[in-house]
Structure 1
Amino acid sequence: MRKKILLMGKSGSGKTSMRAIIFANYTSKDTRRLGATIEVNQAYFKFLGNLILNLWDCGGQDQFMENYFSSQRDNIFKNVEVLIYVFDVESFEIERDIFYYQRSLESLSSHSPNAKIFVLTFQKRKADILKYSKPLEIRCFQTSIWDETLYRAWSSIVQELVMNSSLLEKSLNEFSNVIEADEILLFEKTTFLIVSQSLRKQHSDLKRFEKISNIIKQFKINCNRFDTTFQSIEIKNDNFTIIIDTFTPNTYIMVIVSDPKITPALTIHNIKYAQKHFEKLESQT
């Protein structure tokens, strides 16, 4: 199944850098060598087996933006599943930014009224964006290519695109209860974005999932540079055991267990036992 994602915003706002970090294994420093996008750059990314993300990275120069709302309007805004609009943190042309943003919303409402809308910006502008978005519903994230906030935003976006996300979460909750895990997370294998999670015990660090995505993704990239393959990680101390392992053909699983009576070997056995069930669910995405 193919789903169209529009990535829009002013030139220099970081759209292409985000795409390169998430989908092309760039580091934040690597993005400095990327040039500006000319017109529209289309790319296809396989995600969780049958799901194909058709990402339209739209150049943000004024002449291109004007074309999107006139001669290219039907082509750009038709059959869109998700619009991701990125605001430039360093922009001094706030009124012009809002003008283009509202025109994007108008065009999207006409051609893809059911599309989900995500805005990536910084905290000071959030209230204004929510005001100028009415009556449409949007989700707003404060993001930076230099920390884990990028993974939080993009994980939320892709979770909206997974067809059986509620069934996947239900199965993960049942699995977590059976093996008495504190937490379980499913990561997409290439991007290491979180596609589902189960939480049985509260934790004080609300950003821990995104931090893990960022850390493991960078570790995986470094492994590739040295011609080695990342397979699994096991961490055990007096307070908990963490296991990160390959799960289905397109996911990694992370299981956190604090009960000292549950051995890592038992947890690994349970992970292997559950694989076939989740492989079947994955094939239905």
Structure 2
Amino acid sequence: MGKKKVLLMGKSGAGKTSMRSIIFANYIARDTRRLCATIDVEHSHVRFLGNLVLNLWDCGGQESFMENYFTSQRDNIFKNVEVLIYVFDVESREHDKDLHYYQSCLEAILQHSPKALIFCLIHKMDLVPEDQRDTKFTQLQDKLAHLSRPLEVSCFRTSIWDESLYKAWSEMVYHLVPNMSQFESNLEKFAEIVDADEILLFEKATFLVIAHSLRRDHPDPHRFEKISNIIKQFKMSCSKVQSHLRSLEVRNTSFAAFIELFTANTYVMLVTSDTSMSSAAAVVNIKNARVHFQKLEKAPESAMSQIRQN
């Protein structure tokens, strides 16, 4: 699978580095206030499933840098891009300039990486009065869809102060994993075998939900990002006392949930309404499935064939 080049762009102060630090560097929202502005381009590499590595380019948004991206650095910045993530500050006072830079990005992408996926994050939505958020987001989404033609764009509303950031980044990463359908089909088979209500697969470092199987309807459509946020905060609390999250079990009268370290790059969460399921049974089931998913992560095609035979 190799490296996937991801451009993170937007005007200075839009919140690009803050969100990157929360997702990939275990920052909490209030600590992002001490971050400095990005100078030129900051590179980071994040390993996901198997051989997939996100080559993330966080591009400083100061005017002088933005102009250079479209002139002297155009080939270097926009060549071989898999994903462009453009961040808009919803409360920006330079909205027209934001749109101008966004269109310049699209022109460069069309020239150098026409197959790149385009995502726009309408950021800092917490600053908009709650009763106006839907209207404001819809207006910006429609405008960006029009400006992006002939390219297609997916828009998300985000804030560092709630779970929306995890939802957006989970969706974006989902589109980068080429064998995702194989992971999902195997999760469905696993859920069927153990009679689970739902099984979630989390990326180990970021705790983004990258795949899931649902066998019984759930009333909360935002549960994935809430779980990501909660477990990541718990994981960070463990690290403060020099401990590592290996497993976690939560029970009440309605369900039992088991979180276990799964493969080299993932955690798994098994949720069942059968509260009589013992901890030992859940651990054994996860252990048996781990062998197959480890093979799938390393060599998707051969593992898939073996799982079918079993």
Question: TM-score normalised by the shorter chain: which range applies?
Answer: over 0.9
Change (3 A) 1:260 1:220: closer
For residues 215-259 of structure 1, the C-alpha deviation after alignment (integer angstroms, 9 at most, x for no partner) is 110111111111111111111221111001111111110010012
Cα shift at 1:263? 3.1
Cα shift at 1:261? 4.6
Partner AA of 1:133 in structure 2: S
Does the aligned pair in 1 maintain the 2:251–2:275 contact within 8 Å?
Answer: no
Match of 2:16 in 1: 15
Match of 1:102 in 2: 103
Q: Secondary structure at the match of 2:292?
A: helix
Does the aligned pair in 2 maintain the 1:164–1:284 contact within 8 Å?
Answer: no
1:36 aligns with 2:37: yes
Q: Secondary structure at the match of 1:161?
A: coil
1:133 aligns with 2:148: yes
Q: In structure 2, which of residues 195, 201, 207 is the aligned counterpart of residue 192 of structure 1?
A: 207
Q: Secondary structure at the match of 2:82?
A: strand
Match of 2:307 in 1: none
Q: In structure 1, which of residues 261, 264, 270 is the aligned counterpart of residue 279 of structure 2?
A: 264
Where in structure 2 are the equivalents of 1:44-83 lying within 5 Å?
44-83=45-84
Where in structure 2 are the equivalents of 1:220-231 lying within 5 Å?
220-231=235-246
Off by >2 Å, runs of 4+ in structure 1: 259-265
Does the aligned pair in 1 maintain the 2:15–2:87 contact within 8 Å?
Answer: yes
Whole-Å separation in 2 of the counterparts to 1:92 and 1:205: 35
Q: Secondary structure at the match of 2:89?
A: coil
Where in structure 2 are the equivalents of 1:178-257 lying within 5 Å?
178-257=193-272
Partner AA of 1:8 in structure 2: M
Partner AA of 1:24 in structure 2: A
**Identity of aligned pairs, percent?**
58
* TM-score, structure 1 normalization: 0.97
Match of 1:90 in 2: 91
For residues 4-24 of structure 1, the C-alpha deviation after alignment (integer angstroms, 9 at most, x for no partner) is 000000100010011111111
Does the aligned pair in 1 maintain the 2:144–2:153 contact within 8 Å?
Answer: no
Q: Higher relative contact order by CA 8 Å / sep ≥ 6: 1 or 2? A: 1
Cα shift at 1:272? 0.6
For residues 164-193 of structure 1, the C-alpha deviation after alignment (integer angstroms, 9 at most, x for no partner) is 101111111111111111010000111101
Does the aligned pair in 1 maintain the 2:262–2:268 contact within 8 Å?
Answer: yes
Does the aligned pair in 2 maintain the 1:234–1:242 contact within 8 Å?
Answer: yes
Cα shift at 1:264? 3.3
Partner AA of 1:31 in structure 2: T
Q: Which runs of 5+ in 1 are unaligned?
A: none
Partner AA of 1:114 in structure 2: K
Partner AA of 1:249 in structure 2: A
Partner AA of 1:229 in structure 2: H
Whole-Å separation in 1 of the counterparts to 2:108 and 2:299: 32
Whole-Å separation in 1 of the counterparts to 2:21 and 2:232: 13
Does the aligned pair in 1 maintain the 2:46–2:55 contact within 8 Å?
Answer: yes
Deviates more, 1:40-49 or 1:142-151: 40-49
For residues 69-103 of structure 1, the C-alpha deviation after alignment (integer angstroms, 9 at most, x for no partner) is 11111100000000000001220111111111111
Match of 1:278 in 2: 293
Does the aligned pair in 2 maintain the 1:241–1:264 contact within 8 Å?
Answer: no
Q: Which runs of 5+ in 2 are unaligned?
A: 126-133, 301-310
Does the aligned pair in 2 maintain the 1:158–1:195 contact within 8 Å?
Answer: yes
Cα shift at 1:265? 2.5
Whole-Å separation in 1 of the counterparts to 2:164 and 2:275: 32
Change (3 A) 1:24 1:274: same
